[in-house]
Amino acid sequence: MTTTKTWSWLWMCLLLVLAGCSRAAPKFEGELLRREAWDPAFVAEFGRTMVMNEGRVQPLSTLASYTLYAVHGRRDVQFETADGRTTKLSPTEWLLDAWCYPDQAARYPLFRIENVGVMDALGIHHDGQGQRFEYLSYARMLESADKLQTLIEKLDGKSEQQRSPVERHLMQHWRQLIVYHRMHQLVAALQVPIQLEGDELKKLFGGRDRIALTDVLRSIGSFRDYVRGVGEDFAAAKHGNLGQVLAFLEEASRTPPGALLLPPTQAEGLTWHSYGEVIGGAMTGRMPIDGSYVALLAHMEAGLQAEALGDRQRHLLEYQRAVANAAKGRAGTDTVATEAYYYAANWHFHAMMTFVLGFLLACVCWALPKSRLLWTASAVTTVLGIVMLVIDVWIRCLVTGHPPIARLYDTFLFIGGVAAITMIVAEFFLPRRILLALAPFLGAMLIFLARLFEVADGQDTMKPLQAVLLSNFWLGIHVPTMNIGYGAGLVAAVVGMAWITVRLFGLDRSPDLSLLKVLAKVTYGVTCFSLATGVVGTILGGVWANDSWGRFWGWDPKENGALLICLSQIALLHARMSGLVRDAGLVLWSVFTGMIVVFSWFHTNLFSIGLHAYGFSDALHAGVWISYTILFSFLVLGAIDLIARPNVAPAPQELADVPPLPTR
């Protein structure tokens, strides 16, 4: 009866926490200009449009995703309209709105204000700091852009450590504003027609009052001759607004840095171009413009300026197909469709949710320990989550052309899979239901942290590697082996924390404390596995370093961290075998080693020295210290409990034969 009440209270607390985490969608001010929804089939196909960004060809959907991450901190846009409806846009839909309906997209609540001191600094009225975030639109941010720029200029002389939290947020929002503005400006020259005034100027374009930018490119030779003939005589009435047209074209040629949307159209061409480069090259005569470029721009232009949504979609699909035909067979284009599928399928998210389900089933299994069905359901669900995670990692390998770990982001997914596999295997050999819950919990947690890191980092997780990392043999051998050691070391620490929790709260009701014995046995076995892979991985790293940099060992922080893990585990196993430590000492030492794993895995990347000083972010820095705090807290609580109750833990000789708990 007590157990039933306990679980009832736990479920109630969980529901209250989930209810408290939910937030209402921010408000969208004004009326929507786009009344119809984008066709999902069109969104999927247009999202596969090839672009060149950060040195690699990728689908437009990826560009939209990471731009939205950088600006909004999420991979979707949600808002509530005046009629009370909640609208949710995918990254591609948001980008389509930003390009096709810029006035509407400029009013989306995108810029998340976590500290209302930012609004005070910008002179924006607010109701005070609350639990909900404040959201500002691009249009509202532009109104305060001059004041924000003035504040940013004053911060240039301050280091990151000297800036206050409000100043750091101001700097972040300035970068976000620049990212949004650059994305908008990529196609701004094609969004509106060019108005013509003056008889001579109109005559040049067939007497029309309005022309498209591509009309200028089609007649670029005669237009340049006309401009040269005019000379400095822009004020003549017959030339109308020629000066304004030239200013517009000059502005259009200054496309800000960002993605390159036009593939090489010549058979021997290798270079992708921005719209601005093509327009500027045509105006100056530096770049010969053939019909292919004009046709590509015409499709995009027609899509951006069409009145009906159906016409927009038709022209934009023609653009997408024209780009695909022009880029066909070129380097890096063969994986674009696979990458678009990867982000659309979202396998790691589904794996995370499957792990959560497996964890919940394991929790129910604790309440009904004699149910073999629940044990099987939880185990199968966890294995299914592992399969999904493996599929996710495998597709990433196909897209990048590299082994499973190439960047810090990859380690989350890889180690999450290693941890879940290690624990579920241990559960099959020693079915006590504790590892049945820890396996999906740790898997889901690491995937969740991967998604948080992806948002905080705000960068493409598949961008090209440095040249020294392109040796796939060593990248495929040393790095995964080392990370398997990290994963196993982390598992040992988590199992040790479970041992401390079970002992601290007296959860093991068996007379011989068999659950504590099993957890200690798992900790010992996983530590042995972690040491074996860690030693091999460290040696392979030295071989790679010698091959790449001409030295086997350079006392790099990452190398030192790997060595510290091995030394700690060697000392632990020797102490355990010699009887210097028993079960309690084994698990506490494993938790301490977990802190060393965090140091080697993450903390060394935050240093400004060594070959592994990459992936820095404030969120990662905070996560490292949170991990240290959690591990150290368990270490202290476990030590205090052992000092206060030294006779609760089982003796080491009782570890040999552990009868399984009933699972049938």
One domain, residues 387 and 363: yes
pTM for the model: 0.84
Strand intervals (E) in 465-568: none
Q: Given this model, what pLDDT does residue 572 score? A: 94
Give the residue from 584, 608, 605 showing the smallest Cα distance to 523.
Answer: 584
C-beta of residue 500 within 8 angstroms of C-beta of residue 641: yes
The percent of residues above 90 in pLDDT, for the chain, comes to 38
Task: Report yes or no on 270 lying in a domain.
Answer: yes
Residue 302 has pLDDT above 60, yes or no: yes
Tell me how far the alpha carbon of residue 380 is from its chain's centroid. Answer: 28
- Show the tokens assigned to 241: 């607004």
The per-residue pLDDT for range 601-641, each reduced to its tens digit, is 888 877 766 555 555 566 677 888 889 999 999 999 999 98
CA dihedral 631, 634, 638, 639 (to 10 degrees): 60
Are 543 and 561 within one domain?
yes
- CB under 8 Å to 13, separation ≥6 — which residues? none
Question: pLDDT of 176-234, one tens digit each?
Answer: 999 999 888 889 889 888 888 888 888 888 888 888 888 888 888 888 888 888 877 76
CA 107 distance to own-chain centroid: 25
Domain with 37, as residue range(s), is 26-186
Please enumerate in sequence order all residues whose Cβ is within 8 A of that of 251, keeping only pairs 6 or more positions apart, or say none.
Answer: 189
Please report whether residue 8 resides in a domain. Answer: no
Q: Highest mean pLDDT range out of 6-10, 92-96, 367-371, 434-438?
A: 92-96
Give the tens place of pLDDT for each residue, 274-283: 888 888 888 8
Element (H, E) at 590: helix 583-601
41 pLDDT above the threshold of 90: yes
**Per-residue confidence (pLDDT) for residue 659, from 0 to 100:** 43
Residue 661 CA from chain centroid, whole number: 41
Q: Are residues 230 and 281 in the same domain?
A: yes
| Helix 347-367, helix 434-457: angle, nearest 10 | 150
Mean pLDDT, range 390-409, rounded to an integer = 89
Q: What confidence tens digit (pLDDT) does each residue in 456-503 have?
A: 777 788 887 665 555 667 777 888 899 999 999 999 999 999 999 988
With 50 as the cut, is the pLDDT of residue 371 above it?
A: yes
* 584: Cα separation from own chain's centroid: 39
- Distance of alpha carbon 408 from alpha carbon 623, whole angstroms: 14
* Residue at 18 is within a domain: no
Out of 417, 435, 465, a domain closes at: 465
Bigger pLDDT: 559 vs 507: 559
Residue with the bigger pLDDT between 130 and 329: it is: 329
162-176 burial: b if 16+ Cβ within 10 Å, else e: eeeebbbbbbbbbeb
CA distance 308 to 479: 52
The rounded percent of the chain whose pLDDT value lies above 70 is 87
* Residue that terminates a domain, selected from 131, 164, 186: 186
For residue 650, what is the DSSP state? P
DSSP β-bridge partners for residue 111 = 136
Asked whether residue 662 is domain-assigned, the answer is: no
Cβ-based neighbour number of residue 482 at 10 Å? 24
| 72 and 168 fall within a common domain | yes
Highest mean predicted confidence (pLDDT) among 436-440, 598-602, 647-651: 436-440
- Counted domains in the chain: 4
| Domain identity same for 32 and 161 | yes
The chain-wide mean pLDDT, for the chain, equals 84
Q: Using CA atoms, how far apart are residues 345 and 108, in angstroms rounded to an integer? A: 26
197/149 same-domain check: no
Is 657 or 272 the better-scoring residue by pLDDT?
272
Per-residue pLDDT band for 269 (boundaries 50, 70, 90) equals: low
pLDDT beyond 60 at 3: no
In a domain? residue 337: no
**Dist CA 558 CA 553 (whole Å):** 11
- Tell me whether residue 506 is in a domain: yes
Q: Determine the average pLDDT of the residues in 2-29.
A: 56
Of 2-6, 39-43, 128-132, 600-604, least confident by mean pLDDT is 2-6
CB 597 within 8 A of CB 565: yes
Q: If we measure between CA atoms, which residue out of 6, 18, 8 comes closest to residue 356?
A: 18
Q: Considering only CA atoms, which of 604, 608, 614, 603 is closest in space to residue 557?
A: 604
Taking Cα atoms as reference points, which of 598, 597, 589 lies closest to residue 638?
Answer: 589
What is the full DSSP assignment across 205-273?
A: TTT-SEE-HHHHHHTHHHHHHHHHHHTT-TTSGGGTTHHHHHHHHHHHT-PPSS-B-B---STT----B
Rounded mean pLDDT of 331-352? 91
- State the Cα–Cα distance between residues 169 and 257, nearest whole angstrom: 23
pLDDT at 340: 92
Same domain, residue pair 315 and 460 = no
| Section 424-439 average pLDDT | 88
Element spanning 34, H or E = none
Q: Is the dihedral of CA 362, 363, 369, 370 positive or negative?
A: negative
Is the same domain home to 646 and 523?
yes
Amino acid making up residue 48 = R
Considering only residues 253 and 128, tell me which one the structure prediction assigns the higher pLDDT. Answer: 253
Could you tell me if residue 340 is inside a domain? no
Alpha-carbon span 42 to 484, nearest angstrom: 42
Q: With bands split at pLDDT 50, 70 and 90, how would you rate the model's confidence at 648? A: low
**Is 20 inside any structural domain?**
no
* 577 & 565 share domain: yes
For helices 434-457 and 408-429, angle between their N-to-C axes, nearest 10 degrees:
180
Higher pLDDT, 13 or 526: 526
Taking 50 as the threshold, does the pLDDT of residue 652 lie above it?
no
Contact, 572 vs 597, CB < 8 A? Answer: no
pLDDT at 653: 43
Q: Do residues 127 and 152 share a domain?
A: yes
How far apart, in whole angstroms, are the C-alpha atoms of residue 198 and residue 207? 10
The CB density around residue 150, as the number of other CB atoms within 10 Å, is 9
Q: How confident is the model at residue 512 (pLDDT cuts 50, 70, 90)?
A: low
The neighbour count for residue 328, using CB atoms within 10 Å, is 11
Q: Is the pLDDT of residue 442 over 70?
A: yes
Residue for token pair 């036009």: 262
- pLDDT greater than 60 at residue 332: yes
> Domain check: are 456 and 480 in the same one?
no
Domain boundary among 293, 327, 361: 327
Q: Are residues 110 and 90 in the same domain?
A: yes
Q: Are strands 210-211 and 134-136 parallel, antiparallel or unpaired?
A: unpaired
